Structure 1
Amino acid sequence: MRLDRLDDLGPRICVLGPSGSGKSTLAQAIGNARGIPVVHLDQYRHLEGTQWELRPDEQFERLHDAAVASERWVIDGNYSKLMPQRLAMATGVILLDISTARSLARYVRRTLTPGPRAGGLEGTRDRLSWDMVHFISVHTRPSRRRRREVFERLEIPKLLLPIPAAVSDFYRNEGLVAPTQDG
């Protein structure tokens, strides 16, 4: 069931998409506008104050499962191993399906922009990482295909935003405001 309204997605919304697609920014904008708690999975997966050091798997899974058990949330992030639990609890899904080139450009731009960002790690400034550039360049296309297949099979309300213009239209039509660098 494809939709075009945020209100149709219910109180537990997953925001999926490639690295650098704007998932965290959109999740924060939705949370701010609707008064829904926002969960940035990157913050659960990585230790704050580090340069993206991984939290132990068991801790990450506990944090994730506690978050999805809540009554209301908007969660951004993919983490496919835990996606089935998240999707089982979700009342709606938004898929940002932008191109690899756009994801890469957004990633590079955010590493060059000073200050905190939605979904960033507390006490950490994003730095350009060649490992991340490689990850986005190599893994985005096959991951996009898998996410799209999962998205197509979902039988809950869902919204596909395949190009930046669709994302901009969604922000405008829903009265969403992108968070500032300060949150």
Structure 2
Amino acid sequence: MNLSDLGDRICIVGPSNSGKSTLANAIARKRGLEAVHLDVLHHLPNTDWEPRSRDEFIALHDAAIAGERWVMDGNYSVCMPQRFRRATGLILLDVSTSASLLRYFRRTLFETKRHGALEGGRDSVKWDMIHHIAVVQPRNRKHYSAMFDELDVPKLQLSSVSAIKQCFQDWGLTLS
């Protein structure tokens, strides 16, 4: 599949720490799209990932999807229906739980800058996040797979870190 086949409003979904934000930024640079990171919209800046009110988040989300050219990364099922109605393409990252955990520890312990980071925030290892990655997300895989199958837009499923790297190479994407 060519990157242009996904259109000008691309959703990237998948487990936490699977590379959604990194891929979104790379696609945004390549295609001249706005990169929208749902984690940034969902959380207050300059906090330790404190969520906004549900109404404020939904308003920010809906304003972002009203645009004509974007690549949006994140899940947040409360907003998926309206996001998917606007999407022209979908990418599902379906990396293993162990890969997500490894990426989580690497980014919280060693990276000071990352794609999709919260302004003024600093990542730190949190038991709730480890539990989310190791216990909750594996249960969500069936939901993501079913959702992926139901959508009638151009779509691509990348089921490993090596598949994501190959996609970067095939599409001529860069990390910065």
Please state which band the TM-score falls in when normalised by the shorter chain.
over 0.9
Which residue matches 2:139? 142
**Alignment identity in percent?**
52
1:87 Cα deviation from its structure 2 partner: 0.3
The runs of at least 4 consecutive aligned structure 1 residues that moved more than 3 Å come to: none
The Cα shift of 1:125 comes to 1.4
**Aligned residue number for residue 37 of structure 1:** 34
Cα separation, 2, equivalents of 1:149 and 1:162: 15
Q: 1:106: how far off?
A: 0.6
1:164 aligns with 2:153: no
Amino acid at match of 1:154: L
**How far apart are residue 142 of structure 1 and its match?**
1.2
Structure with the higher helix share, 1 or 2? 2
Q: Give the aligned partner of residue 122 of structure 1.
A: 119
Q: CA deviation at 1:116?
A: 1.9
d(CA) in 2 for partners of 1:168 and 1:14?
A: 18
Q: Which moved more, 1:109-118 or 1:164-173?
A: 109-118
- CA distance in structure 1 between the partners assigned to 2:162 and 2:65 by the alignment: 30
Q: Within 5 A, what are the aligned runs for 1:1-183?
A: 4-179=1-176
Q: Does the 8 A contact of 1:114 with 1:125 survive in 2?
A: no
Tell me, what secondary structure is at the counterpart of 1:81?
A: helix
Structure 2: gaps (5+ residues): none
Distance (Å, rounded) in 1 between the aligned partners of 2:118 and 2:26: 18
Find the aligned partners of 2:109 and 2:89 in 1 and give their Cα distance.
33
Alpha-carbon shift at residue 134 of structure 1 (Å) = 0.9
1:175 is matched by which residue type in structure 2?
Answer: G
d(CA) in 2 for partners of 1:145 and 1:32?
A: 31
Superposed CA RMSD in Å reads: 0.8
The Cα shift of 1:81 comes to: 1.2
Residue by residue over 1:139-159, the C-alpha shift from the partner in whole angstroms, topping out at 9 and shown as x without a partner, is: 111111101110011110001
When the two structures are aligned, how many residues end up with a matched partner? 176
Q: TM-score, normalised by structure 2?
A: 0.98
